[in-house]
Amino acid sequence: MNAPLPDLATIKRARNQFIAALGASQVFFNEEDIASYRDKFAVDDTFHLPAGAIAPDSVEQIQAALRIAQENGIPLWPISRGKNLGYGGSAPVLAGSVILDLSRMKKIEYDEANGTVLLEPGVGFYDLYDFLQARGMKHWLSTPGNSWGSVVGNALDRGVGYTPYGENTSKICGMEVVLADGTLVRTGMGALDGSPTWQLYRYGFGPAWDQLFVQSNFGIVTKMGLWLMPAPESLMGMDIEFDSPDDLGPLVDAIAPLRREGLLQQSPTIGNWLRAAAVLTTRDQWTDEPGALSDKVIQAIRNRYKVGWWGVSLRLYGREDVNKAAYAILEREMDRLKPMSKKPAQWKQGEPLEASGWTGTPLTFPMQNANWHGGRGGHIGFSPVLPQSGKAAMEQFKRTYERYREYGMDYQASFAFGERHLINVNAVLLNKDDPAMMKKVDPFLKTLIADARAQGYGEYRTHLDYMDLVASTYDFNGNALAKLNQRVKDALDPVGIIAPGKSGIWPGKTGGARA
Ligand code: ADP
């Protein structure tokens, strides 16, 4: 179901007004432009086709775009670099929205002494990496598996990396935001004009608002403060493989206390056997059997890459003396579990840096898994939040793996540690040129969401198609949280000019639901 698209005359008028305000070179409304902003991974991307896109390069241009959008009743869907692949890419929830592409806003302000940056939305992980490298790499990034996107967009959708600063959204410190009526606000200490502590103290005075603008549609973020990790003196750790599916539970129970006490400060991710194969090969190199991969093929994959059913990379960061002491404890705890293999990893300042997520180096090769099935590939994420318990992880794994086999899908999953929680990130790898498979994807995802809800689990992030459904599972007291979100939306943006439908939040004019 979709709201009616704005009529052609309205789109044409808006387009001309955008050209007058931003210049023709920043306004994109032809067919190729629209195609380039669609979500190539969506089950049916026609549901999310934008009317066009505009690329302002200043707060003033964003304010002008908002006025034009209001006047013509066309919603704007802000993106930073629009590489939110698996969750919607650069496409809007509501077809007919205009993409507000902020990728031209690329200013970086760096406070080297305090280890903070103030970033505009268009700054990509590669941009910031190059910037820091040119200044001696005194601070490290925390990059997501696909680092093609922006630092701001990733933190705004609560993306995660693998270093101690892996929970990017928790490192946000102060924002500049344009509200739907054009008001420019700075949060935290930024509300004091010219304050030197904007990027140092998160809360300011009174309510703290940064998270109000995360995974929401309450404003357009034009600057974000972020803490960076000081480059460590040394890095130590190990890559470990475990032979049996049943090893997941004890592994979670062994890592969780180390994570909670702080001996392990990074966010380790336990992943299954498909990781390497899905990136380095295509499925037809292994089998032409339909349905989920058989145990025989799984064993062949494991033999080729010498991987277990599960593997995890653990890393310690900081002073060498401290790391050495912590490593001995880590090794003892892991040896207790009798891993199939254990490969130590070590690095010291001055040595060449391993290009990996553990060192915050931007990467794109994991995206190659979109080609696993051949054809026009993609993946959609299913990512419920669990307690850090081996029993909960095992039950979630067994339930989900059974569903993958029932629907004939290849299992790619990971269990990513936060400080107190575990996120079970499942990638549903798909082939848009396989109609039989594509027919299964939507019912499969809905089943997974319902299974998780039945356990009291909700997703931390979801694809455009499932935002309403996931929001509806947060159902305490008659969906009181959704109603609160809608009241805030109505107070800030009553006609729904910014990203209607984002995270299941719709303006009151549609009755708080999709029209
Ligand atoms: P990336 O640049 O990392 O690829 P995206 O631009 O795809 O990230 O952004 C992820 C999601 O976050 C978008 O779909 C959008 O909903 C939201 N978002 C991104 N940038 C902004 C912004 N500057 N202001 C408000 N919301 C944003």
Of 82, 105, 62, give the one whose Cα is nearest residue 497. 62
Residue 294 lies in a domain: yes
Average pLDDT value for residue range 169-191:
98
Q: Are residues 305 and 449 in the same domain?
A: yes
Tens-digit pLDDT profile for residues 452-493 = 999 999 999 999 999 999 999 999 999 999 999 999 999 999
Residue 469 lies in a domain: no
Classify 475 in phi/psi space as left (phi over 0), alpha (psi -120 to 50) or beta: alpha
Structure-derived torsion over alpha carbons of residues 98, 99, 105, 111, reported in degrees to the nearest 10: 120
Residue 429 lies in a domain: yes
Amino acid at 212: L
Q: Is 67 tagged catalytic?
A: no
Q: What is the pLDDT of residue 4?
A: 57
Tens-digit pLDDT profile for residues 51-106 = 999 999 999 999 999 999 999 999 999 999 999 999 999 999 999 999 999 999 99
CATH number of the domain that 215 lies in? 3.30.465.10
Q: Is 461 tagged catalytic?
A: yes
Q: Are residues 254 and 372 in the same domain?
A: yes
Q: Are residues 173 and 290 in the same domain?
A: no
3-state SS string for 126-189: HHHHHHHHCCCCCEECCCCCCCCCEHHHHHHCCCECCCCCCEHHHHEEEEEEECCCCCEEECHH
For the chain, how many structural domains are there in total?
A: 4
- The Å distance, Cα 100 to ligand 1 centre, comes to 10
Average pLDDT value for residue range 321-349:
98
Range of the domain at 411: 234-462
- The Å distance, Cα 324 to ligand 1 centre, comes to 40
Q: Is 87 tagged catalytic?
A: yes
Choose the weakest-confidence range: 190-199, 249-258, 363-372, 463-472.
Answer: 363-372
Q: How confident is the model at residue 5 (pLDDT cuts 50, 70, 90)?
A: low
Cβ count near 232 (within 10 Å): 22
Cα 411 to Cα 291: distance, rounded to the nearest angstrom: 11
Q: Are residues 311 and 325 in the same domain?
A: yes
List all residues whose CB is within 6 A of at least one atom of ligand 1.
78-84, 88, 90, 102, 121, 149-150, 152-154, 156-157, 220-221, 499, 502
Residue 1 lies in a domain: no
Residue 467 lies in a domain: no
For the chain, give the mean pLDDT: 95
Q: Are residues 393 and 417 in the same domain?
A: yes
Contact (Cβ atoms closer than 8 angstroms) between residue 330 and residue 314: yes
Q: What is the pLDDT of residue 370?
A: 92
* Cα separations in angstroms, 154 against 84, 90, 359: 8, 13, 18
Dihedral sign for Cα 152, 156, 162, 167, please: positive
Contact (Cβ atoms closer than 8 angstroms) between residue 178 and residue 497: no
Tokens describing residue 18:
């955008």
Catalytic residue among 37, 87, 407, 466: 87
Q: Is the pLDDT of residue 513 over 90?
A: no
Q: Are residues 221 and 240 in the same domain?
A: no
CATH number of the domain that 15 lies in? 3.30.43.10
Q: Are residues 396 and 247 in the same domain?
A: yes
Q: What is the pLDDT of residue 346?
A: 96
Cα 201 to Cα 194: distance, rounded to the nearest angstrom: 14
The pick from 76, 79, 119, 175 for probing ligand 1's pocket by mutation, whose C-beta has the most ligand atoms within 8 angstroms, reads: 79
Q: Among 101, 118, 133, identify where a domain stops.
A: 101
Contact (Cβ atoms closer than 8 angstroms) between residue 495 and residue 73: yes
